[in-house]
Amino acid sequence: MSGLAQASVAPAAAEVTAGGDDQRPTRRSWTAYLLLLPGALWLGVFFVLPLVQLATVSLQSRFPGFPGYYYRDVNFQNYVSALTDYGPHFLRSFVYAGLATFLAFVVAYPLAYAMAFKAGKWRNLMMICVVAPFFTSFILRTFAWSQILADEGWVAGILNFLHLLPSGHIINTPLAVVAGLTYNFLPFMVLPIYASLERADPRVIEAGGDLYADGFTTFRTVTLPMSMPGVLAGTLLTFIPAAGDFVNMELLGPQRGKMVGNVINDQFLAIPGGYPVAAALSFTLMAAILVMVFLYVRRFGTEELV
Amino acid sequence: MTTTTAPASAPYRPSAAKRAQLWLANHFAMLSAILVLLYLFLPVAYTFAFSFNDHGKTNIVWQGFTWKHWQDPCRVAGACESLVTSLQVGAISTLVATVLGTLMALAMVRYRFRGKAASNVLIFVPMATPEIVMGAALLTIFVQGFSNIGISLGFGTIVFAHIMFCLSFVVVTVKARVQSLDPRIEEAAQDLYASPMQTFWKVTFPLILPGILGAAMLAFSLSFDDFIITNFVSGNESTFPKFVYVASRRGIPAEANVIGFSMFVLAVLLVIGAQVVGSWRANRVKG
């Protein structure tokens, strides 16, 4: 919101100031390029260039008669086979990541709310508690979930006692994958929501109560809209890594019915000559995510994302 | 409405039901927050508990208590070597990414220039790209392009990649701090005949230092815990997360739990220490 306002005000301001002081803006912009150059070069060489290379690989063609060999070409067949052979994998990735994002939002909001408005002097301690678990390696924690959710574990025990599990298992089911994804990216949801709630004035929320709105109405019409930039950033920071993840599926999920991340990883690292199709899969994943991000930001958006 | 004749002097007091509801509402948030924190710590508690497991081939079911994994966590081949690699990668990547990112953040906030919108996109898109895509892209260029100029997969390529994905997060973190700074403070320094360099080192830098340190901590934790990109670009080199992942195929040894939990304790102590020093400094400035 404020970012958009700034963006539209800045050019006007530039015109106004440029009249009085000709020399300053040019000198200043040269300094800006010098400051920007090393980082931009790094991103150019190790982000943009690799993506260009990946794009050319995704268009290579198969050498007839030589399995695993490819030559440079502009061939969209890899994209066709990526979508037809691995459509279900894409669908699973987006559904599981979407569910995990929603669950993470439900779990994260009360915590972020309590940190912003109720914690008082405990605020810093709670902040440390949110980040601290993530200093234990994320693979170790995911592995710990495979112990917690194991058939002999207490979670499966309780749920089976209540007859809530149709198959009798959690581990090696999509449910365990969604649970792992929800857990692993939770701080990325908590911290942006907390940051935007912290900036909000609690008196505005109290005013909702004073005007006889019940708790839910106050939340829906006052609190939630005020935290929207944080919710937006949080959902993106959760959904994007979750959609590309393969570790949770590998450690917690079933043997069959993998996500697109598993396919890309296996094609690149385990299957010789799998590069072109895997590159096409990577690009399709990235394009799908960028389009979704764009539409999502357009729909709910603010300029300042993070 | 106008007919109600409440005594004007009585202070507003919500009804008992309203108060009970408010009390519940207040404590509901805090109560659920505590539950969520317990949930966050549950796997860490498991990691800690199973570091004492006297396990056989796999460390999945509890089999009995032992101190032996804590006595010599380096006993398992590769565990401590990979930890040292991770610490080295983390230190170098953090240093470079923090310096480059801080410079970029200063340029983005403090200057107007042609290509600013494009720079914004260049900084934002790496954060919106799934790690697996970045890993795949880096692998193709390292294997098919940069190998021609003598770069092969290993320690160096891990560091190159880590600097790249930490950079955007540093820029965003430092940018927020620079934006919250009142430009009039710097203008005041200029008015008092400080040179641009003096203004930066005596005024701007100390004020944005907390943001820079926060960004460095974020960069280190991102680098230290990265697995997906590292797995693509590491070749035969092994970092701690890669060691754990490879071991998970056969069963993670309890020594990995010992190292993982120790790093957790160390990081928490560091963060708390930084907080204490920070508040001590703030008090001293005030007093």
Q: Smallest Cβ distance to B225: which of A138, A147, A243? A: A138
- Residues shown for chain A: 306
Interchain proximity A144–B44, CB inside 8 Å = yes
Mean pLDDT confidence for A189-207: 85
CB contact A18 to B (< 8 Å): no
Half-sphere exposure of residue A133, counting CA atoms within 13 Å on the CB side? 27
A221 occurs within a structural domain: yes
Check residue B73 and give its pLDDT: 81
A282 occurs within a structural domain: yes
A2-12, pLDDT tens digit by residue? 332 333 333 33
A53 occurs within a structural domain: no
User: How many domains are contained in chain A?
Assistant: 1
Domain assignment of residue A206, given as a range: 78-300
Check residue A1 and give its pLDDT: 31
Interchain proximity B167–A31, CB inside 8 Å = no
d(CA B223, CA B230): 9
A202 occurs within a structural domain: yes
Return all residues near B198 (Cβ < 8 A) that are at least 6 apart: B189
Contacts of B119 in chain A (CB under 8 A): 36, 40
- Average pLDDT over chain B, rounded to whole? 86
Lowest average pLDDT, out of A189-193, A271-275, B42-46, B96-100, goes to: A271-275
Distances from the Cα of A140 to the Cαs of B7, B73, B225, in angstroms? Answer: 65, 15, 10
Q: For the purposes of burial, counting CB atoms within 10 Å of the CB of B224, is it exposed (0-12), middle (13-18) or buried (19 or more)?
A: buried
Mean pLDDT confidence for A226-251: 91
Q: Which 216-235 residues of chain A touch chain B by CB within 8 A? A: none
Q: Smallest Cβ distance to A42: which of B36, B138, B167? A: B167
Interchain proximity A43–B134, CB inside 8 Å = no
What is the 8-class DSSP label of residue A48? Answer: I
* CATH code (residue A84): 1.10.3720.10
Residue B95 sits in the same domain as residue B218? yes
Between A and B, how many CB-CB pairs are < 8 A?
261
- Nearest-CA neighbor of B243 among B219, B262, B222, B224? B224
Distances from the Cα of A146 to the Cαs of A176, A243, A288, in angstroms? Answer: 8, 20, 30
B150 occurs within a structural domain: yes
d(CA A240, CA B129): 7
What 3-state DSSP class applies to A212? coil
Q: Smallest Cβ distance to B264: which of A126, A132, A264? A: A132
Half-sphere exposure of residue A253, counting CA atoms within 13 Å on the CB side? 21
Residue B122 sits in the same domain as residue B221? yes
A36 occurs within a structural domain: no
A190 occurs within a structural domain: yes
Return all residues near A207 (Cβ < 8 A) that are at least 6 apart: A222
**Residue A255 corresponds to which tokens in the numbers above?**
């043997």
Q: For the purposes of burial, counting CB atoms within 10 Å of the CB of A127, is it exposed (0-12), middle (13-18) or buried (19 or more)?
A: middle
Residue B165 sits in the same domain as residue B265? no
Last residue of a domain, one of B205, B225, B245: B225
Domain assignment of residue B40, given as a range: 21-76+253-274
Mean pLDDT confidence for A254-273: 86
A204 occurs within a structural domain: yes
Interchain proximity B137–A282, CB inside 8 Å = yes
Q: For the purposes of burial, counting CB atoms within 10 Å of the CB of B41, is it exposed (0-12), middle (13-18) or buried (19 or more)?
A: middle
B157 and B254 Cβ atoms separated by less than 8 Å: no
- Residues shown for chain B: 287
Residue B93 sits in the same domain as residue B191? yes
B60-73, pLDDT tens digit by residue? 777 788 888 888 88
**Which residues are registered as beta bridge partners of A70?**
A62
Interchain proximity B39–A46, CB inside 8 Å = no
Residue B49 sits in the same domain as residue B183? no
- Find the closest chain B residue to A241 by CA distance: B130
| Percentage of residues in chain B having pLDDT higher than 70 | 94
Q: Smallest Cβ distance to A144: which of B43, B132, B227? A: B43
B8 occurs within a structural domain: no
The pair phi, psi for residue A70, each rounded to 5°, is: -135, 155
Residue B61 sits in the same domain as residue B27? yes
Q: Smallest Cβ distance to A35: which of B46, B107, B114? A: B107
B10 occurs within a structural domain: no
User: How many domains are contained in chain B?
Assistant: 2
What is the 8-class DSSP label of residue B13? Answer: -
What 3-state DSSP class applies to B57? coil
What 3-state DSSP class applies to B72? coil
A54 occurs within a structural domain: no
d(CA B258, CA B50): 9
Check residue B9 and give its pLDDT: 57
**Residue A126 corresponds to which tokens in the numbers above?**
């709670």
Mutate: best of A37, A137, A218, partner B, most B CBs <10 A: A137
Amino acid at position B7, single letter:
P
Nearest CA distance, A231 vs chain B (angstrom): 16
B173 occurs within a structural domain: yes
Residue B146 sits in the same domain as residue B257? no
Distance of CA A70 to the CA centre of its chain: 33
Residue B84 sits in the same domain as residue B52? no
Check residue B230 and give its pLDDT: 95
Give the confidence band of B268 by pLDDT, cuts at 50, 70, 90: confident
Interchain proximity B113–A32, CB inside 8 Å = yes
Check residue A26 and give its pLDDT: 44
**Chain position carrying tokens 């973190």:** B173
**Residue A45 corresponds to which tokens in the numbers above?**
């060489």
Does residue A40 surpass a pLDDT of 50? yes
Residue B144 sits in the same domain as residue B181? yes
B6 occurs within a structural domain: no
| Percentage of residues in chain A having pLDDT higher than 90 | 36
Give the confidence band of A300 by pLDDT, cuts at 50, 70, 90: confident
Q: What is the dihedral of CA A256, A259, A264, A270, to 10 degrees?
A: -30
- Average pLDDT over chain A, rounded to whole? 82
**Residue A119 corresponds to which tokens in the numbers above?**
């914690």
Mean pLDDT confidence for A220-227: 84
CB contact A8 to B (< 8 Å): no
Check residue A12 and give its pLDDT: 34
Does residue A64 surpass a pLDDT of 80? no
A179 and A149 Cβ atoms separated by less than 8 Å: yes
Give the confidence band of B1 by pLDDT, cuts at 50, 70, 90: very low
